[in-house]
Amino acid sequence: MAASSTSIVVLASLFATAALLMSGASAQLSTGYYKKTCPKLFDAVESVVKSAIAKEKRMGASLLRLHFHDCFVQGCDGSVLLDDTSSSRGEKTANPNNNSIRGFNVVDDIKSKVESVCPGVVSCADILAIAARDSTAILGGPTWDVKLGRRDSKTASLAAANSGVIPPPSSNLNNLINRFQNLGLSTKDMVVLSGSHTIGQARCTTFRGRIYNESNIDGSFARTRQGSCPSRNGAGDNNLAPLDLKSPTFFDESYYKNLLDKKGLLHSDQVLYNGGSTDNLVETYSKNPKAFANDFAAAMIRMGDISPLTGSSGEIRKNCRRAN
């Protein structure tokens, strides 16, 4: 049924209002937010992130993913870090997160280090944003000036985290485009942010369907992955495989080269290069690492602008796992 002109006007007004609210809040973020109140902030965060990645390269990808999963659920507000309480369940056990997101102990360590140099000043939401940037750079990727000034939410939302706002690995191209656009991110942002899968690992349960049932996959690659991911549900579900076959612990453009060779691990990876509207972008990034690096940094800044709490909203948590 076609929408009436009145409903279209109302919808347009709602979207415009949401855009204004988002841009207004993000406008209060700035790269020099803690320059006077916590001048040692960046050194404190980087030292802990470097140490964590030295112990386990995968941790860089885990910290980057925490920022993504935080921003996609009720904005970049640190809500993903909140533990369950007797009165409410947080986002950690939501379907996209349960037995999947990790790195909380490292965030605790960063928070402790930051509190030691400037107590009660820096939010956990901002710590996630800085840790994501540092992780990317330490693993060979681009760096960027992180906009700061976010405050922490006092609540988390299991329902919101389960609502589909975080795209599952089974997503088709339209689902990916729509979910990113709903948060003010473009198709180009979606393709370039998917390039974060140049680092990190995925569990067998997230790619089993692809390696056994899909045809747009390199046969040798599928057989290799099947070696550690049995076809039967429940068998080896948590066995890991690198998202990037070529350079799993180095941030580069290999992810896109893999897609050209039909070696994307997740269904939601390979749909970016499967005869659709995003093929050209994948081809561009596969042969132009500078364009990938520049566009990735710009998209990360835009993602960090999603609905932050600023001003007197929210709080500065003393412990990232619980509200004050």
Q: Which residues are annotated as a binding site for substrate?
A: 167
Angle at Cα 95 formed by Cα 274 and Cα 150, nearest 5°? 90
Contact assessment for residue 301 and residue 147, using Cβ atoms and an 8 Å cutoff = yes
Tokens for 254? 């290999």
Report the alpha-carbon distance of residue 130 to residue 114 in Å, rounded.
Answer: 12
Report the alpha-carbon distance of residue 19 to residue 36 in Å, rounded.
Answer: 31
Give 49-70 as a DSSP string. Answer: HHHHHHH-THHHHHHHHHHHHH
Binding residue positions:
70, 73, 75, 77, 79, 91, 167, 197-198, 244, 252
Report the alpha-carbon distance of residue 295 to residue 132 in Å, rounded.
Answer: 16
Choice among 65, 67, 69, 147 that is catalytic: 69
Tell me, yes or no, if 69 is annotated catalytic.
yes
* Helices 124-138 + 41-55 axis angle, to 10: 60
Report the alpha-carbon distance of residue 61 to residue 15 in Å, rounded.
Answer: 33
The kind and range of the H/E element at 241 are strand 240-242
Binding residue positions for Ca(2+):
70, 73, 75, 77, 79, 91, 198, 244, 252
User: What positions carry a catalytic annotation?
Assistant: 69
